[in-house]
Structure 1
Amino acid sequence: MSEPEVLFAVRGTLGVITLNRPRAVNALTATMATAMLETLLRWATDPAVHQVLVRGSGERGLCAGGDIVAIYRDITSGGQETEEFWSTEYSLNSLIQSYPKPYIAYMDGLVLGGGVGISAHGSHRLVTTRTRSGMPETTIGFVPDVGGTYLLSRSPGESGTHAALTGEHLGAAEVLYLGLADHLIDFARAEELFVALETAPVDDILPGFILPVPASNLESWRAWLDDAYAHSSVEEIMADLNALAAAGNDEARAAVATLGKKSPSALKLTLASLRRAKNLTDLKEVLKQEYRVGLRALESSDFPEGIRAQVIDKDYAPMWNPATLQAVDMELLEASFASLGNRELKLNPRALSGAVE
């Protein structure tokens, strides 16, 4: 028999969640999200569990995101399973942010997309020198979700806009600067930390494991990033980046090349989502917005085409429709934010009284 996709254990007073799909870099499935939600709800009121640790099995990372191969297969048959998966996953993201006990996320290796959702909303978020994290959704014709637009819209200046639009994989210094994590630790001492957490509160022992924060490129680029990405349209952003590139800014030139490969519709939807998310009051409201946008994306052509190009056929040559920023239907884009009626996201439907609300 194969092992479960996610493992749960209580060691001393520590609840340990181990994502257990190492060959898929622990990509999150609906089964895993449901199991995590149910277990966290139970542990929230269990006096034997004082704090929770989430980690990934294997050496490649905590979680490379949602299982987009499963999403691709579901899109071709109507998307019903993905709608249910996201409802559970977003409830899990919301629960993590409001969890009544310390929630310690070990963000080693790859932590992308859905992996950010199960880590960056926690109370204690730990990265290592091996961390490569980010929200790469524009690469597959999608928009940052799992609260990604909430987090990146609140990053310093326009650094989060740059990270969301380019979808780049970022190291520990950038992840810390963006506000997606709290502390850098040595991965070689991780097991020592985990053992200590079994009997001692995280705030008592964590200071002995924290490393100095390295310099951030995003912070050093802050002046031109803030100017270039402050606009309300992707066309204006691209114009500023092109001007910077022409003046010799190599980082701006790289950003232009990166953005030129992304879905034009996804870029515009991402920017609109970030701007709206910044003005929403809390994570729950942003998750509801992301759910609306996500379900509309299931009906688009770019989302399945992006997955096909990246992970199905792996030709890395998506045929975006429309193919240019100018051709994006702005009325259709605005409609992505409209109410879903009776399909609106209902967060934490099985939440225990007082545990999360």
Structure 2
Amino acid sequence: MQGPTMSSDDVILDRVGSAAVIRLNRPKALNSINLSMVRAIRAALDDAAEDVSVSCVVLTGEGDRGLCAGGDIRVLFEMGKADDTEATRFWREEFPLNYAIAHYLKPYVALMDGITMGGGVGLASHGRHRLVTERTRLAMPETGIGYFPDVGTSWLLPKAPGEVGTWMGLTGLEVTAADAIFAGLADLSVPSDELPKLVQALGALAADADDAAVEAVLQSFAVSPGESELQRNHAVIDRCFAHDNVEDILAALDAEGGEFAGRTREAILKRSPTSLKLTLRLLRAGRDSSGLVECLEREFAAGVEILRHHDFYEGVRAAIIDKDRDPKWSPASLQEVGREAIELYFAGRHGTLFPDHRL
């Protein structure tokens, strides 16, 4: 049964039988999320949790290009430039949403069809049922804009096999459906043209359906994702990315030789030196953390500090303002980024997101 559709411009709330469907609705902006969308998603999740007629929640993106390309960084760029005190409001509400998704009581199904990056990974990969398709292009590309992988990925990426999460965090390169599954950021691959039928099948479930019933539906649509390049190069990744400083990783890639190592090294050399060192520290800290909350708190402190420095504004300028793809990082080299400079991002001078949570 097709239920009523409610629209709040950037987020469409739909019902397909017992399934509550959240549709991100900014297709021209690759469904990049803003603060109003974060609030709408959170409200929809809260409502669905209380609605006894809802069996599961499905997250999808409108248009044919992707689920979500990340947060609306242009707004953050403009607010940070203007020294707006509300510049961090987006993170203050987005990060608790990521936590809510990770601990959601009802089955939560994310359809990661097409581009799924940054904040889109946060909306999807913390969920219980994460689906990818042959069109999926997943990435955490933040080191290329003078930022770092956030939305709790400093908790998720270290859980990938070996050093695969480190590779993803530092390079920011896109990966396929098979890679996303291998890295633990997705669970099953389904054909993109089967997604409407899959949602209908979920909607046909009884309102009290549990995760096992949802999983059975998803498995009935699942297909092989094909070969994972990250899995094929797992040994190279583990050898080169086992080091705890970026310079040693680059040296290991250089010594390794081969097309994959060369392409990886070339990608890293284009990223912000500060972002690379910060990202590696966050990923190593995430590996030893007590849980998602500790990582989100650490990421929030680092994000606030990012707004005080050059590279984020330069990276966004080069990527989406002027689009010249030629950022001038400062400092320009890894050797110029001292340990004391990175320590600033861990000072935790900016309050807490989860004051009642015990780490």
One fold, TM greater than 0.5? Answer: yes
2:177: which partner in 1?
A: 172
Unaligned stretches of 5+ residues in structure 1: 350-357
Picking from 198, 210, 215, the partner of 1:203 is 215
Percentage identity across aligned positions? Answer: 41
Deviation at 1:82, TM superposition (A): 3.2
Deviations 1:14-61 (A, max 9, x none): 111000001001000000001111221122122121210000000000
Determine whether 1:277 maps to 2:289.
Answer: no
Q: Which moved more, 1:200-209 or 1:236-245?
A: 200-209
Q: Which amino acid aligns with 1:346?
A: F
Deviations 1:241-282 (A, max 9, x none): 11112xxx1111111111111000000000000000010011
1:346: which partner in 2?
A: 354
In 2: Cα distance, 1:286 partner to 1:18 partner: 28
Q: Which amino acid aligns with 2:220?
A: G
In 2: Cα distance, 1:251 partner to 1:81 partner: 42
The count of aligned residue pairs is: 344
1:242: which partner in 2?
A: 254
Deviation at 1:3, TM superposition (A): 6.0
TM-score, with structure 1 as normaliser: 0.94
In 1: Cα distance, 2:227 partner to 2:176 partner: 11
Deviation at 1:347, TM superposition (A): 7.2
In 2: Cα distance, 1:60 partner to 1:81 partner: 31
2:336: which partner in 1?
A: 327
In 1: Cα distance, 2:242 partner to 2:166 partner: 9
1:154: which partner in 2?
A: 159
Secondary structure in 1 matching 2:20: strand
In 1: Cα distance, 2:223 partner to 2:91 partner: 35
Q: Which moved more, 1:136-145 or 1:67-76?
A: 67-76
Determine whether 1:70 maps to 2:79.
Answer: no
Q: Give yes or no for contact 2:293–2:354 (8 Å, CA) kept in 1.
A: no
Q: Which amino acid aligns with 1:208?
A: S
Picking from 16, 36, 39, the partner of 1:34 is 39
In 2: Cα distance, 1:166 partner to 1:12 partner: 42
Q: Which moved more, 1:259-268 or 1:76-85?
A: 76-85
Q: Give yes or no for contact 1:154–1:278 (8 Å, CA) kept in 2.
A: yes
Deviations 1:41-99 (A, max 9, x none): 12212212121000000000000000011111111111533311111100110000000
Q: Which amino acid aligns with 1:110?
A: I
Picking from 116, 138, 151, the partner of 2:143 is 138
In 1: Cα distance, 2:339 partner to 2:44 partner: 42
Q: Which amino acid aligns with 1:345?
A: L
In 2: Cα distance, 1:306 partner to 1:347 partner: 32
2:60: which partner in 1?
A: 55
Q: Give yes or no for contact 1:165–1:259 (8 Å, CA) kept in 2.
A: yes
Deviation at 1:306, TM superposition (A): 0.2
Q: Which amino acid aligns with 1:207?
A: Q
In 1: Cα distance, 2:353 partner to 2:276 partner: 24
